[in-house]
Amino acid sequence: MASETKKRTRQRDQVEEQGVPAEGAVVNGQDLEIPPRIEVKHVFTNYQAGKYGHKDVGLSEEQVLGMYRNMLLQRRFEERAAQMYGKQKIAGFLHLYIGQEAVSTGAAQAIRIGHDSVITAYRDHGIGLALGMTADECMAELFGKIDGCSRGKGGSMHYFKAEKRFFGGHGIVGAHVPVGTGIAFAHKYREDGGVCLTFLGDGAMGQGAVHEAFNLAALYELPVIFIIENNQYAMGTAIDRAFAETVFIKHAISNNMEAAMVNGMDVFAVCKAIQDHAELARRFKPSILEIRTYRYRGHSMSDPGKYRTKEELERKKQEDPIIRLKAYIRQHEIASNEDLDRIDEEVKEEVMRAVEFAENSPLPPLETIYEDVYTQEDYPFLA
Amino acid sequence: MHSDMAELQFREAIRAAMVEEMERDENIFLMGEEVAQYNGAYKVSEGMLDRFGPKRVIDTPISENGFAGLGIGAALNGLRPIIEFMTFNFSFVAFDQLINNAAKIRYMSGGQFKLPIVFRGPNGAAGQLGATHSTSTESIYATIPGLKVVAPSNPDDAKGLLKSAIRDDDPVIFLESEVMYGLRGEVSDEPDYLIPLGKARIAREGEDVTIVAHSKSYWIALRVADRLAEEGYSAEVIDPRTLRPLDIDTIVASIKKTNRCVIIDESNPYASISSEIAYQIQDRAFDYLDAPIRRITAKDVPAPYAKNLMEYYMPQEDDAYEACKQVMYAG
């Protein structure tokens, strides 16, 4: 990895910038002289809503419409999935992403899909669809059918798509964050210029694995962006009930990383933030983005969400990312209302076709239960 | 036995396997606590930093959950990591990574990814280290589908099995032992010396009783077989070497010949490798058994510190000897 000398120098520089003289500063753990005062001053650059338009992030009007279409696809897909869950066509846990679509879409737009890598937690439908996974394979996976993206073995929490370099879909809170760090490690090792977007929820910030991953990424200077989708609630626990520090990007300071706060209801703010931080990552500066967002539904389908008020929910819905983008498109005369309605109709039809596809896809043949455990084909399973 | 042999310590055999494989494939790297600048807590990786540089021999902070997970991500993304745990007792800090990620991502993704990764390091007890540093973890990992578990007993096997483990496309738990690192033995020099995973070794042929034992227990089995030989009994000693997948066919074939079985396993007895082997033998060869299967294990308690208690805790050669006599109805 980077030479020790270089790293030490960098740390010393930072200490100096922060107002403590390098001489006597704690640099290598062997110096017993205690500085008179340690100050940490840090101002984060934040990505506000309304600050960036499509031209600021280098998008054509066509691309803007594509993003609008994709956000709607995520929303309609999940609305229909919720309905299918109610009809017991879908089992297990179903964590919906509704309200957070600007995060997935803005992020996917900012990277080179198929070259850069993405990993996320259990609220993964939106990111999968944003990366270009088909509604068919995604719905079939929810139905537990053989044509699902994970052959019916993953379900809602475990979408994967190797060709999109989408590494899942992970169900243990925070456990995938070191894995994302390792994916980034391999990008650097192979010098292929790739970065890994590692999404996590605010609840994961309580997990040791996440903080270990932060340290390793910064220590080894890995091309990774840790994207905290802060939707304010870890299941039913509001973040201020679970965390002594609720401004999560402050953890960047103790790990010598860059960080920024992003309005997750504005797809252009997300896109710009990820573009900027992907550039940092490509220069081996890992970073933390805290994206403030909101989920409209309960934690999962079994959660009525009684821990928050109707007023709060209604207030947040005023910031809806899709409505916001729609207003932008109208304001900039990128498309007419009729055009946008037509997109919505197309998306609804696409989702209906996906439901039909999932219905008609066969259940996995029983012999597939022994497939995909090992690469070894003659593995002697106990019968 | 082999055309080119050199006498090496167990630790040198492990190192030779890693060095040869890393020279062959630049996607292989070694990562763990003190593996680089310190040259390895048990000197297994001595000299490897100088040879391969800091890109491929990487010191980590004391952060098992983090670096085990990092290895898994690197494996998913095309590299072939060797992750060293300073001892497998510390692997429990990374347990979630091994059980929920390494073992399951391939399955949950419908086979879209492979995880060619080796987690290796010393396993089991090594003198008076107290309960937290003395766990035999083999049955814990072997119970999880998706993992492979290897536990060699001698330097030559260690080299051949580790080279296979590194080339294997599935996650492998490779269990060594502090007390075996200094063990010397003839080791093959052949560049592609690969012992296949899942193949047991018949270490000694015999007619009267089968002793199944892996890792350190294998050496107890050999001493017991020597003692029995002095009395005119011939024991067949089988070292499974790989615990998952287990070469049960070789063990069953032996039982069909000797009709008696003693298993020596330094794990705690409850739900252990010895439990599994005993079950599988009765499932496949019940009619061939002339006596109930006996097993000799560690005591069913955490490992104690006191010297006498610790010695008593470990599987005893005398007990194994007596068990063999018992299953042979030889007094």
In tens, the pLDDT along A14-73 reads 544 444 444 544 456 667 888 889 888 888 989 999 999 999 999 999 999 999 999 999
pLDDT digits (tens, 9 = 90+) for B202-214: 999 999 999 999 9
Instruction: Pick the catalytic residue from B12, B20, B64, B138.
Output: B64
Instruction: Point out the residue among A154, A209, A381 whose CB comes nearest to the CB of B109.
Output: A154
DSSP string, A297-341: S-SSTT---TTS-HHHHHHHHTT-HHHHHHHHHHHTTSS-HHHHH
From residue A334, give the alpha-carbon distance in Å to each of A53, A63, A329, B255.
12, 10, 5, 79
pLDDT digits (tens, 9 = 90+) for A135-171: 999 999 999 999 999 999 999 999 999 999 999 999 9
Q: Please tell me the predicted confidence (pLDDT) of residue A9.
A: 44
CB-neighbour burial class of residue B143 (10 A; exposed 0-12, middle 13-18, buried 19+): middle
Answer yes or no: B214 catalytic: no
pTM of the shown model: 0.94
**What's the farthest any 2 CA atoms get from each other in chain B?**
61
Select from B25, B109, B252 the residue whose CB has the most chain A CBs within 10 Å, as the one to mutate to test that interface.
B109
> Is B245 in Cβ contact with A379 (below 8 Å)?
yes
Select from A7, A189, A371, A379 the residue whose CB has the most chain B CBs within 10 Å, as the one to mutate to test that interface.
A189
Can you read off the two tokens belonging to residue A254?
């103790």
A380 touches chain B (CB under 8 A): yes
Residue B63 has pLDDT above 90, yes or no: yes
Look at residue A265 and give its three-state secondary structure.
coil
> Is A182 in Cβ contact with B75 (below 8 Å)?
yes
Which segments of chain A have a pLDDT < 50? 1-6, 8-9, 11-13, 15-22, 24-26
pLDDT digits (tens, 9 = 90+) for B108-160: 999 999 999 999 999 999 989 999 999 999 999 999 999 999 999 999 999 99
What b/e sequence results for A124-158 when a residue is b if at least 16 CB atoms lie within 10 Å of its CB, and e otherwise? bbbbbbbbebbbbbbbbbbbbbbbbbbbbbbbbbb
Q: Please tell me the predicted confidence (pLDDT) of residue A27.
A: 54
> Is B73 in Cβ contact with A180 (below 8 Å)?
yes
> Is A153 in Cβ contact with B110 (below 8 Å)?
yes
Q: What average pLDDT does the segment B322-328 reach?
A: 98
> Is B111 in Cβ contact with A371 (below 8 Å)?
yes
A380 contacts in B (CB within 8 Å)? Answer: 198, 245-246, 248
Note which residues in 197-226 of chain A have CB less than 8 A from chain B: 208-209, 212-213, 215-216, 219-220
From residue B234, give the alpha-carbon distance in Å to each of A280, B207, B221, B229, B258.
69, 6, 12, 6, 9
Answer yes or no: B133 catalytic: yes
A167 touches chain B (CB under 8 A): yes
Q: Please tell me the predicted confidence (pLDDT) of residue A266.
A: 98
Q: What average pLDDT does the segment B53-59 reach?
A: 98
Instruction: Point out the residue among A148, A178, A185 whose CB comes nearest to the CB of B97.
Output: A178
What backbone phi and psi angles, to 5 degrees, belong to A109?
-70, -25
A181 contacts in B (CB within 8 Å)? Answer: 66, 69-70, 73
Beta B261-265 vs B209-213: how paired, if at all? parallel
Which residue in chain B has the smallest CA separation from A217?
B70
Can you read off the two tokens belonging to residue B302?
């955490």
pLDDT digits (tens, 9 = 90+) for A171-183: 999 999 999 999 9
Which residue in chain A has the smallest CA separation from B76?
A183
